[in-house]
């Protein structure tokens, strides 16, 4: 016979208002296994916990049931309480009578009846609990950062400064991300390059940081503290160790048709290229699709001109494996597809550009050397229209339902910078509303309106078309005067929605991290654990988690780094003892369990078993306790019932069901 | 039928005599000409026509017999090796179990593949001869149609000539097909080392004349009360003889939950009305997604319970929810119900589509 104690919490009035806690206590006392039951205002408080500890000692309890809030909230708390009183922490069960009972019921009788049933189920289960001992696993003291934008860079530097090794895997030839493409940055209008390139250099020079640029994560196995990652270093056809970054090859290359990604395709580059002068690592990359050598087998001009002898057409992708204790996802964002909004003529007229393209047009290192010109004819524009929320806050189904958050600010920035540099240019901004919360942000926007006379018009643009003069006409409605607006202009800039980078879904799948319906990675708790993913050991940094500007990105990157450091500082992690295991005499070796395990925890061995006096070799499932997350998928897939889960055995679950159905 | 039986016997003898196979799983006659049963032959001389049969009553699916046959043989070899070692002899001198020849009808090959997928048999120890089948007869139907005191049944093309002590009768074969054959999935063998088919049908032909899901649709159209009454009536006839489980090639657990006192559902006298049904409900869930619809369960049920309807309901639902899936179509399939697919699965936490992209 077990000696069970039941502790019913009022949670102030949260529970007590809809559940008659006295009646619950009386009801559970009738269970022959229950030797003690009581209720209290706040069980989780120190006084409440003391009640529990005292009762454990006084009544020599072998198990306890706490009827309170969700186990996600306080299971840990009460487990510690039990341990403190000398009771194994796995002899604790929580009956959730708050979220699953008092909060959803109005009628007190109904709520009370349900609370009693939930308590009985928990009692039935705890009677079958067995003391479990958590194991230990070693922590690999190295972190992996996926994505080398400002988010990844900042997280890397912070982790490295704390004394741990960090590897950055960046899929493009250089780190820096979008920030390296920007011109000036709000709210202080300092030059983006001037603040991001020193950080890139810091990464390159930091003894604890290794950069794998032009590389991708191929496969992730393992678990928190012990991830095993395969990384593919894509062939650059340039030996990184020899290339000095002199860029002679990039000038000599006769193939000039490559899309210059760094300049958003506003101009072209050679087949061998360095994205920009401050690229890190500063080495050339050959893009095989445009390279004449790969097309015709001839050319090789780059190789002939390279004094370092770095060109290597024979180079192959290289895959290597590395162990990590923690992984930070910092894959950032991309500009969403604006071709779905072709009423703005983006695909038809070169003078309709996205804001990121405008950043390049205004950047001193950009295709027009920082002189603002119309892409169509290279002439100076006299009038510019900005359209906000292109694809953001969309209800038409073509775009994104969310607010991209940064566009109001960067549009104000663009407007102001243009008015500052070219006072002759008229600037109009069409907006739904202007959202500029943040330190010094609203002041910034007001400066654009008040000091720089930017013409802000509330209203969405219906369409843009080419007029007889070859310019553009913008047709819109001014929602304040309620009048139709027809504006002739020279350029239209679309503040396009931002979306998570391509391939993030694949990354999320490999990490079994979750993403939301918009492909942003989700955090473990939106308020309390904003930089952790729900998967242990995986952290989030930057726009991959949600739209944000640089200040927010950098703060989040630092926060993620702290979490990583906190993890890497430990030598061992406690492992969850609630893992699956097979009964060898019952296992068929059928592979059903292995096919459903999301964590790849199950493998097979041929093993000699003794069953009913017969010794035979059988194929038997084996669970790797370190990989098993205790999800229980295998136990329900197993036809013979050979697979069972410690702490949630088939018997325990059936006992709960029986108790509920009684 | 006679022609094909002759060819089967000839091939089996050849393979046995050449030592290519050590034993043959086929069919033999029972007390009556129509109660044909599975049998293992180890000597060429036992394989005479008359003893080895292949006729319209060879409905039984031999694939499942491989499990125990192979197990016994492997265990025997291992025991012999252990004995040899104990006697100081070289255990490697003991010969291996060799191959087993099995004759499989097209529908039986689905079960064979399913068993391979579930690692229940080792195909390197098996030689499969696919045999042509034009549908098997249901003796109960023949009896219901008025034949009693049957002494002999002769296959004559589309007809069955039935000799009885009261005189001769003739039946159209299509009128007396087993339920599973009336709904035949097709005449193609999904696995075979060789096929014996003297008169092959044109491709795609040979499917059963009946709609496989007609019975399920009928059940779906009932009200919940009607359906409950239907199953109550059907399943209350179950005598828990476990014939369905024993014949089922999907029921191959080392220790079946109904034989396991620790499972909590093991065999005991029914205490409540519900317990009569519990066995079938649990079994239906256990074979869901793994059942190839071979029809053995219904065929062997002495109480004539239409168990295939339970399984087909699952098959229909799986097809509707996850796209068409035929268990046993090929070896190594990942059945929709037991497949975690890291790239596309919603579980445990990846949210897909639904507005994202
Ligand atoms: C037009 C425009 C103007 C802006 N102006 C300002 C401004 O003035 N001030 C401000 O504060 N913010 C501004 N922003 C916002 C700013 O760009 C972002 O906040 C910041 O760049 C986010 O950094 P990140 O590292 O999260 O993402 P990113 O910069 O996108 O970096 C992500 C990196 O990860 C890499 N990556 C992606 N997927 C993978 C993968 N699968 N494997 C490996 N690597 C991968 C990418 O190649 C990239 O290098 C502006 C944004 C836009 C669009
Ligand atoms: S409990 Fe879940 S994680 Fe553990 S072995 Fe089973 S399926 Fe895999
Ligand atoms: S599902 Fe069950 S029987 Fe099949 S391999 Fe896994 S533990 Fe063994
Ligand atoms: S459940 Fe019936 S039809 Fe399905 S595989 Fe088993 S015996 Fe065949």
Report the distance separating Cα A184 and Cα A359, nearest Å: 8
Q: Tell me the domain boundaries of chain B.
A: 2-136+182-196, 137-176, 214-352
Amino acid A621: pLDDT:
97
Q: Which residue of B has its CA nearest to A635?
A: B338
Instruction: List residues near ligand 4 (CB under 6 A).
Output: B 247-250, 287, 291-297, 308, 311
Amino acid A72: pLDDT:
84
Segment A637-658 shows an average pLDDT of 95
CA-B180 nearest atom, ligand 4: 3
Q: Which residue of A has its CA nearest to B288?
A: A639
Q: Express each pLDDT in A421-445 by its tens digit.
A: 999 999 999 999 999 999 999 999 9
Q: Which residue of B has its CA nearest to A502?
A: B357
What is the value of pTM for the model shown?
0.75
CA distances to A212, A244, A252, A633, B128 from A240, rounded to whole Å, are: 11, 8, 19, 46, 57
Report the distance separating Cα A456 and Cα B88, nearest Å: 99
Q: What is the three-class DSSP state of A363?
A: coil
Copy the structure tokens of residue A575: 């492992």
DSSP H/E element including A466:
strand A461-466
Cα A595 to ligand 2 centroid, rounded to whole Å: 10
Ligand nearest to the CA of residue A576, numbered in listed order? 2
Amino acid B345: pLDDT:
63
Amino acid A276: pLDDT:
96
Report the distance separating Cα A555 and Cα A571, nearest Å: 27
Would you call A453 an interface residue with chain B, using a CB distance cutoff of 8 Å?
Answer: no
Amino acid B213: pLDDT:
94
Would you call A246 an interface residue with chain B, using a CB distance cutoff of 8 Å?
Answer: no
Would you call A101 an interface residue with chain B, using a CB distance cutoff of 8 Å?
Answer: no
User: Which residue, among B176, B101, B168, has the nearest Cα to B134 in the 3D structure?
Assistant: B176
Residue A380 is given by DSSP the state: P
Would you call B338 an interface residue with chain A, using a CB distance cutoff of 8 Å?
Answer: yes
- Indicate the angle between helix axes B308-322 and B273-287, nearest 10 degrees: 50
DSSP H/E element including B40:
strand B37-41
8 Å CB contact of B347 and A614: no
Ligand nearest to the CA of residue A602, numbered in listed order? 2
Question: What is the distance of C-alpha A657 from the center of its chain?
Answer: 37
Residue A98 is given by DSSP the state: I
Q: Say yes or no to pLDDT of A282 above 90.
A: yes
CB nearest to A589's CB, from B119, B256, B351: B119
Q: Give percent above pLDDT 90 in chain A.
A: 91
Cα A627 to ligand 2 centroid, rounded to whole Å: 8
Q: Where are the alpha helices (DSSP H) in A262-371?
A: 292-296, 301-305, 355-362
Residue with CA nearest ligand 1 atom 5: A410
Give the number of beta-carbon pairs within 8 Å between A and B: 106
Would you call B257 an interface residue with chain A, using a CB distance cutoff of 8 Å?
Answer: yes
Ligand nearest to the CA of residue A187, numbered in listed order? 1
Amino acid B351: pLDDT:
45
Would you call A513 an interface residue with chain B, using a CB distance cutoff of 8 Å?
Answer: yes
Cα A281 to ligand 2 centroid, rounded to whole Å: 42
The more confident residue out of B353 and A448 is: A448
Range of lowest pLDDT (A471-475, A597-601, B324-328, B338-342): B338-342
Q: Output the DSSP codes for B313-333.
A: HHHHHHHHHH----TTSSTT-
Q: Express each pLDDT in A167-193 by its tens digit.
A: 999 999 999 999 999 999 999 999 999
Amino acid A645: pLDDT:
97
Band (pLDDT 50/70/90 cuts) for residue B50 is: confident
8 Å CB contact of A588 and B254: yes
Amino acid B1: pLDDT:
63
Which residues in chain A have their CB less than 8 angstroms from residue B357's CB? 519
CB nearest to B253's CB, from A588, A596, A611: A588
Report the distance separating Cα A176 and Cα A178, nearest Å: 7
Residues 6 or more apart in contact with residue A586 via CB below 8 angstroms: A640, A641, A642, B253, B254, B255, B260
Band (pLDDT 50/70/90 cuts) for residue B348 is: very low
Q: Taking chain B, what is the end-to-end CA distance rounded to the nearest angstrom?
A: 58
Cα A625 to ligand 2 centroid, rounded to whole Å: 9
Would you call A473 an interface residue with chain B, using a CB distance cutoff of 8 Å?
Answer: no
Residues 6 or more apart in contact with residue A527 via CB below 8 angstroms: none
What average pLDDT does chain B have? Answer: 90
Residues 6 or more apart in contact with residue B68 via CB below 8 angstroms: none
Report the distance separating Cα A390 and Cα A398, nearest Å: 10
Question: What is the distance of C-alpha A200 from the center of its chain?
Answer: 22
Amino acid B356: pLDDT:
32
Amino acid B183: pLDDT:
92
Q: Which domains does chain A have, with CATH numbers?
A: 4-126 (3.40.50), 142-234+317-332+501-568 (3.50.50.60), 248-305 (no CATH), 335-499 (3.50.50.60), 580-646 (3.30.70.3270)
Report the distance separating Cα B51 and Cα B48, nearest Å: 5
Cα A597 to ligand 2 centroid, rounded to whole Å: 5
Which residues in chain B have their CB less than 8 angstroms from residue A333's CB? none
8 Å CB contact of B348 and A640: no
Q: Assess contact for A562 and A530: CB atoms under 8 A.
A: no
CB nearest to A596's CB, from B71, B340, B357: B340
Work out the number of other CB atoms within 10 angstroms of the CB of residue A285: 25
What average pLDDT does chain A have? Answer: 95
- Whether residue A609 has its Cβ less than 6 Å from ligand 3: no
Which residues in chain B have their CB less than 8 angstroms from residue A592's CB? 118, 338
Q: Output the DSSP codes for B83-94.
A: HHHHTT--GGGS
Would you call B349 an interface residue with chain A, using a CB distance cutoff of 8 Å?
Answer: yes
8 Å CB contact of B342 and A512: yes
User: Which residue, among A393, A442, A388, has the nearest Cα to A186 in the 3D structure?
Assistant: A442
Query: How does strand A209-212 pair with strand A215-223?
Result: unpaired
Residue A468 is given by DSSP the state: T
Segment A595-617 shows an average pLDDT of 89
Amino acid A598: pLDDT:
83
Ligand nearest to the CA of residue A633, numbered in listed order? 2
8 Å CB contact of B356 and A640: no
Q: Express each pLDDT in A463-480 by its tens digit.
A: 999 999 889 999 999 999
Copy the structure tokens of residue B7: 């060819």
Residue from B86, B286, B349, B354 whose CB has the most chain A CBs within 10 Å, to mutate: B349
- Whether residue A260 has its Cβ less than 6 Å from ligand 1: no
Residue with CA nearest ligand 1 atom 12: A549
Report the distance separating Cα B266 and Cα B279, nearest Å: 9
Q: Express each pLDDT in A477-502 by its tens digit.
A: 999 999 999 999 999 999 999 999 99
Residue from B254, B284, B289, B349 whose CB has the most chain A CBs within 10 Å, to mutate: B254
Copy the structure tokens of residue B50: 């008359």
Band (pLDDT 50/70/90 cuts) for residue B338 is: confident
Is-cis flag, bond preceding A402, omega within 30?
no
- Whether residue A640 has its Cβ less than 6 Å from ligand 3: yes
Residue with CA nearest ligand 4 atom 5: B291
Residue with CA nearest ligand 2 atom 6: A634
Amino acid B268: pLDDT:
74
Residue A354 backbone dihedrals phi, psi, to 5 degrees: -85, 165
Query: How does strand A215-223 pair with strand A184-185?
Result: unpaired
Q: Say yes or no to pLDDT of B350 above 60.
A: no
Would you call A596 an interface residue with chain B, using a CB distance cutoff of 8 Å?
Answer: yes
Band (pLDDT 50/70/90 cuts) for residue A97 is: very high
Which residues in chain B have their CB less than 8 angstroms from residue A641's CB? 257, 260, 262-263
CA-B290 nearest atom, ligand 4: 5
Query: How does strand A491-496 pair with strand A352-354?
Result: parallel
Q: Express each pLDDT in A607-616 by its tens digit.
A: 999 888 888 8
Which residues in chain B have their CB less than 8 angstroms from residue A589's CB? 119
Report the distance separating Cα A311 and Cα A273, nearest Å: 12
Which residues in chain A have their CB less than 8 angstroms from residue B117's CB? 591
Q: Express each pLDDT in B250-302 by its tens digit.
A: 999 999 999 998 888 887 777 777 877 889 999 999 999 999 999 999 999 99
Q: Which residue of A has its CA nearest to B73?
A: A616
User: Which residue, among A543, A398, A516, has the nearest Cα to B353 in the 3D structure?
Assistant: A516
Q: Express each pLDDT in B189-239 by its tens digit.
A: 999 999 999 988 888 788 888 899 999 999 999 999 999 999 999 999 998
Q: Express each pLDDT in A369-413 by its tens digit.
A: 999 999 999 999 999 999 999 999 999 899 999 999 999 999 999
Q: Assess contact for A466 and A352: CB atoms under 8 A.
A: no
- Whether residue A643 has its Cβ less than 6 Å from ligand 3: yes
Mutate to test the pocket of ligand 1, among A501, A509, A539, A544 (most ligand atoms within 8 A of CB): A501
Q: Which residue of B has its CA nearest to A637?
A: B338
Q: Express each pLDDT in B120-170 by its tens digit.
A: 999 999 999 999 999 999 999 999 998 888 999 998 888 999 999 998 999
Residues 6 or more apart in contact with residue A600 via CB below 8 angstroms: A221, A627
Work out the number of other CB atoms within 10 angstroms of the CB of residue A28: 25
Band (pLDDT 50/70/90 cuts) for residue A231 is: very high
Report the distance separating Cα B338 and Cα B314, nearest Å: 14
Residues of A (48-77) whose Cβ lies below 8 Å from B:
none
Residue B177 is given by DSSP the state: B
Which segments within A108-208 are labelled E, that is strand? Answer: 135-138, 142-146, 165-169, 184-185, 190-191
Residue with CA nearest ligand 4 atom 8: B294
Copy the structure tokens of residue A270: 């050679």
Ligand nearest to the CA of residue A587, numbered in listed order? 3
CB nearest to A633's CB, from B257, B334, B340: B340
Q: What angle do CA B231, B236, B237 make, to 5 degrees?
A: 110
């Amino acid at each position: 016979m077990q000696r069970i104690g039941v502790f019913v919490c009022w949670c102030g009035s949260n529970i007590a208002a809809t559940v008659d806690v006295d009646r619950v206590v009386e009801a559970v006392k009738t269970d022959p296994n229950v030797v003690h039951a009581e209720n209290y205002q706040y069980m989780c408080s120190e006084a409440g916990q003391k009640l529990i500890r005292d009762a454990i000692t006084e009544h020599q309890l072998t198990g306890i049931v706490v009827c309170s809030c969700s186990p996600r909230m306080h299971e840990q708390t009460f487990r510690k309480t039990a341990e403190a009183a000398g009771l194994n922490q796995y002899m604790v069960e929580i009956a959730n009578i708050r979220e699953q009972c008092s909060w959803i019921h109005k009628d007190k009788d109904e709520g009370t009846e349900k609370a009693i049933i939930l308590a009985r189920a928990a009692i039935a289960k705890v009677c079958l609990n067995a003391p479990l001992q958590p194991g230990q696993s070693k922590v690999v003291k190295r972190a992996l950062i996926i994505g080398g934008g400002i988010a990844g860079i900042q997280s890397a530097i912070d982790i490295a400064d704390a004394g741990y090794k960090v590897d950055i895997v960046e899929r493009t030839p250089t780190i820096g991300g979008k920030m390296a493409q920007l011109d000036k940055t709000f709210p202080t209008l300092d030059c983006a390059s001037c603040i991001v390139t020193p950080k890139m250099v810091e990464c390159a020079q930091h003894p604890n940081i290794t950069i794998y640029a032009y590389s991708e994560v191929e496969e992730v196995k393992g678990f928190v503290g012990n991830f095993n990652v395969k990384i593919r270093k894509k062939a650059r056809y340039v030996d990184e160790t020899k290339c000095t970054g002199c860029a002679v090859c990039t000038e000599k290359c006769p193939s000039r048709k490559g899309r210059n990604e760094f300049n958003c395709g506003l101009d072209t580059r050679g087949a061998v290229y360095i994205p920009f002068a401050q690229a890190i690592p500063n080495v050339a990359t050959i893009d095989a699709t445009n390279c004449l050598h790969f097309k015709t087998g001839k050319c090789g001009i780059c190789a002939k001109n390279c004094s370092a002898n770095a060109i290597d057409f024979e180079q192959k992708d290289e895959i290597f494996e590395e162990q990590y204790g923690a992984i930070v996802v910092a894959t950032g964002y991309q500009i969403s597809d604006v071709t779905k909004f072709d009423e703005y003529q983006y695909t038809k007229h070169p003078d309709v550009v996205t804001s990121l393209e405008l950043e390049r047009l205004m950047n001193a290192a950009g295709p027009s050397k920082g002189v603002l010109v119309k892409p169509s004819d290279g002439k100076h524009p006299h009038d510019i229209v900005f359209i906000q929320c292109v694809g953001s806050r969309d209800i038409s189904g073509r775009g994104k339902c969310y607010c991209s958050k940064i566009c109001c600010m960067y549009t104000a920035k663009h407007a102001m910078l243009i008015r500052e540099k070219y006072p002759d240019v008229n600037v109009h901004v069409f907006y739904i509303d202007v959202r500029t919360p943040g330190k010094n942000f609203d002041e910034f926007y007001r400066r654009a309106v008040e000091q720089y006379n930017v013409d802000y018009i509330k209203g969405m643009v219906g369409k843009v078309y080419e007029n007889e003069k070859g310019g553009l006409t913008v047709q819109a409605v001014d929602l304040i005067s309620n009048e139709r607006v027809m504006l002739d202009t020279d350029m239209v800039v679309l503040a396009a929605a931002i979306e998570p980078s391509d391939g993030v879904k694949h990354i999320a799948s490999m990490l079994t991290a979750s993403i939301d319906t918009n492909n942003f990675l989700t955090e473990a708790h939106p308020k309390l654990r904003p930089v952790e993913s729900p998967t242990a050991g995986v952290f989030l940094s930057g726009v991959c988690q949600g739209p944000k500007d640089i200040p927010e990105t950098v703060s989040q990157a630092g926060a993620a780094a702290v979490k990583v450091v906190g993890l890497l500082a430990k030598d061992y992690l406690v492992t969850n003892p609630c893992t699956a295991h097979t009964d060898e005499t019952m296992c068929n070796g059928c592979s059903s369990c292995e096919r459903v395990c999301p964590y790849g925890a199950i493998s097979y061995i041929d093993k000699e078993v003794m069953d009913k006096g017969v010794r035979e070799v059988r194929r038997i499932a084996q669970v790797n306790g370190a990989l098993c997350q205790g999800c229980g998928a295998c136990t329900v897939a197993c036809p013979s019932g050979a697979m069972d889960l410690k702490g949630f055995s088939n018997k325990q679950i059936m006992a709960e069901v029986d108790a509920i159905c009684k | 039928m006679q022609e094909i039986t002759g060819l089967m016997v000839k091939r089996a003898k050849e393979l046995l005599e050449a030592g290519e196979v050590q034993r043959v799983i086929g069919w033999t006659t029972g007390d009556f000409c129509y109660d044909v049963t599975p049998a293992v032959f180890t000597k060429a001389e036992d394989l005479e026509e008359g003893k080895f049969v292949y006729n319209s009553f060879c409905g039984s699916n031999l694939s499942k017999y491989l499990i125990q046959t192979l197990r016994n043989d492997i265990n025997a070899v291992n025991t012999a090796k252990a004995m040899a070692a104990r006697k100081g002899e070289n255990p490697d001198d003991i010969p291996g179990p060799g191959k087993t020849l099995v004759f499989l009808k097209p529908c039986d090959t689905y079960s064979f593949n399913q068993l391979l997928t579930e690692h229940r048999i080792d195909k390197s120890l098996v030689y499969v001869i696919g045999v042509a089948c034009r549908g098997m007869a249901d003796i109960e139907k023949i009896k219901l149609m008025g034949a009693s005191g049957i002494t002999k049944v002769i296959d004559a093309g589309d007809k069955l000539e039935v000799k009885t002590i009261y005189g001769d009768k003739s039946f159209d074969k299509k009128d007396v097909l087993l339920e599973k054959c009336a709904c035949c999935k097709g005449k193609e063998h999904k696995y075979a080392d060789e096929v014996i088919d003297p008169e092959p049908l044109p491709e795609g032909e040979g499917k059963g004349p009946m709609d496989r899901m007609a019975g399920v649709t009928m059940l779906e159209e009932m009200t919940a009360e009607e359906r409950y009454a239907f199953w109550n009536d059907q399943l209350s006839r179950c005598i828990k003889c476990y014939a369905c489980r024993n014949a089922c090639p999907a029921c191959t657990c080392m220790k079946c939950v109904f034989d396991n006192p620790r499972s909590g559902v093991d065999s005991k006298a029914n205490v409540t009305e519900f317990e009569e049904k519990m066995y079938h409900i649990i079994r239906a869930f256990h074979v869901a997604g793994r059942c190839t619809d071979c029809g053995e369960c219904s065929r062997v049920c002495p109480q004539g319970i239409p168990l295939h309807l339970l399984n087909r309901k699952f098959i229909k639902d799986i097809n509707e929810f996850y796209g068409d899936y035929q268990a046993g179509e090929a070896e190594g399939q990942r059945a929709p119900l037991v497949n975690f697919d890291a790239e596309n699965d919603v579980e445990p936490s990846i949210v897909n589509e639904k507005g994202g992209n």
